[in-house]
Structure 1
C-alpha cells in the first residue's frame, strides 16, 4: 500500500536524520535504513525537499498522537506537583529510545526550517489536549494570561529537553515544578 510505504520511508528518514544529521539525509540513506531497494525513496519523494516535508509531517503527527495519548491517560492535575510530574514524564520520554530519535530529528528540522519557511509552517506548535490541560490548570490557579504562560512554560521545558539531548542528563520533576510555579506567579 502506498500509504504504508510512505509512512515506512518517513519513519526511516527520521532515523537517518537523528543518526546522521541533515547532511546525511539522502534518498539513498533512507532506502538503506528502510531496507528497501535503491530508488524506492526517490520514487515516492522525488526531491529532497519532498522527503524532508514528509518527514516533518510525520514527526508532527507522531507528536500530536503522543500528546493526545498523554492527556487522555492522566486525570487533570490538582496541584503544581502533579502538573510538573506529567510534564517531566513527557520530557523524559523525549530523551530516551524512540522519543530521543524523534527529538533529535525534530530539532534538526527546526534549524532547517529557518531556511525553509514551508517547514516552519508545519512545525508551528499545535493546539492539543495536553497543551489545553496546562493552560486550563494555569487559568484555574490564577495565572495572568494563561495562554502566554503556557507557551512560555512549554518553551522552557522544550529548552530543557534540548539541553539534555546536547549535554546529557535528564529532566527532573523538581526542575519542571519550579517552572510551573514560576508560570503561576
Structure 2
C-alpha cells in the first residue's frame, strides 16, 4: 500500500505542478489534489525536495511507459516520411490531454533542475525503443554521427513542443517535423 500511496501522491504532484506551476507545489496542495487528509504528503515526503524528486521520478516513469506503449502499438519507422509522421504523432501526444499536463510539469522541472542537479540526473533522456529507432534510421541513411544527429533532432522536436505549449497550440505542423528529419538525414 505504501508504494501505491506514493504513486498517487506523485501523480497528484504532477497535476498540481501542471495546473499551478512550481510555486503551487506544496504538500497541502498535493493532499488536496489527491483527495487525502492534510498531512498525508508530508508523512510520505518529509521535504519539498523529496516531493519534487518523487514527482520527477514518476514523470520519467510515465513518459517511458508512454514511449514503450507507442513503440509496441506501431511499427518502427522505416523511412524519413514514416519517421516524420511518428514524431508528429509524438508531438500531438505531448500537446493534448494528459500528455500536455506532463509536458507542462516536465518543463517546469527542467527549469528547476538548473538549480537542483539531482533533478537533472533523473530528467536526463533515457534510452528507449523510440530513440533507438530514430538513431537506427539515421545511421541507415549513412550518417556517421547518428547519435549526435539523433540528439539534435529530438532536441529540436522537443523545442517545437515547448514552443506550442508556450504559444497555446495543440499541434506541431507536420511539414516542420519533416524538415527537421530531412536536415538530420542530410
TM range (shorter): over 0.9
Aligned structure 1 segments of 4 or more residues deviating by more than 6 angstroms: none
Q: Which residue of 1 aligns with 2:72?
A: 72
Q: Distance in 2 between matches of 1:153 and 1:106?
A: 19
User: For residues 143-158 of structure 1, what are the structure 2 equivalents within 5 Å?
Assistant: 143-158=143-158
Q: Are the counterparts in 2 of residues 10 and 58 from structure 1 also a CA contact under 8 Å?
A: yes
Q: Distance in 2 between matches of 1:71 and 1:111?
A: 28
TM-score if structure 1 supplies the norm length? 0.98
Q: Distance in 1 between matches of 2:122 and 2:150?
A: 20
1:167 counterpart = 2:167: yes
Q: Are the counterparts in 2 of residues 114 and 120 from structure 1 also a CA contact under 8 Å?
A: yes
Q: Which residue of 2 aligns with 1:140?
A: 140
Q: Distance in 2 between matches of 1:40 and 1:168?
A: 34
Q: Which residue of 2 aligns with 1:99?
A: 99
Q: Distance in 2 between matches of 1:172 and 1:86?
A: 13
Q: Which residue of 2 aligns with 1:176?
A: 177
Cα deviations by residue, 1:61-114 (Å, 9 ceiling, x for unpaired): 011111111122221222211111011101111001000000000000000000
Q: Are the counterparts in 2 of residues 71 and 133 from structure 1 also a CA contact under 8 Å?
A: no
Q: Are the counterparts in 2 of residues 57 and 122 from structure 1 also a CA contact under 8 Å?
A: yes
Cα deviations by residue, 1:42-76 (Å, 9 ceiling, x for unpaired): 00000000000000000000111111111222212
RMSD over aligned Cα atoms: 0.8
Stretches of structure 1 that go unaligned for 5 or more consecutive residues are: none
Q: Are the counterparts in 2 of residues 93 and 100 from structure 1 also a CA contact under 8 Å?
A: yes
Q: Which residue of 2 aligns with 1:5?
A: 5
Q: Are the counterparts in 2 of residues 60 and 123 from structure 1 also a CA contact under 8 Å?
A: yes
TM-score if structure 2 supplies the norm length? 0.98
**Cα shift at 1:143:** 2.1
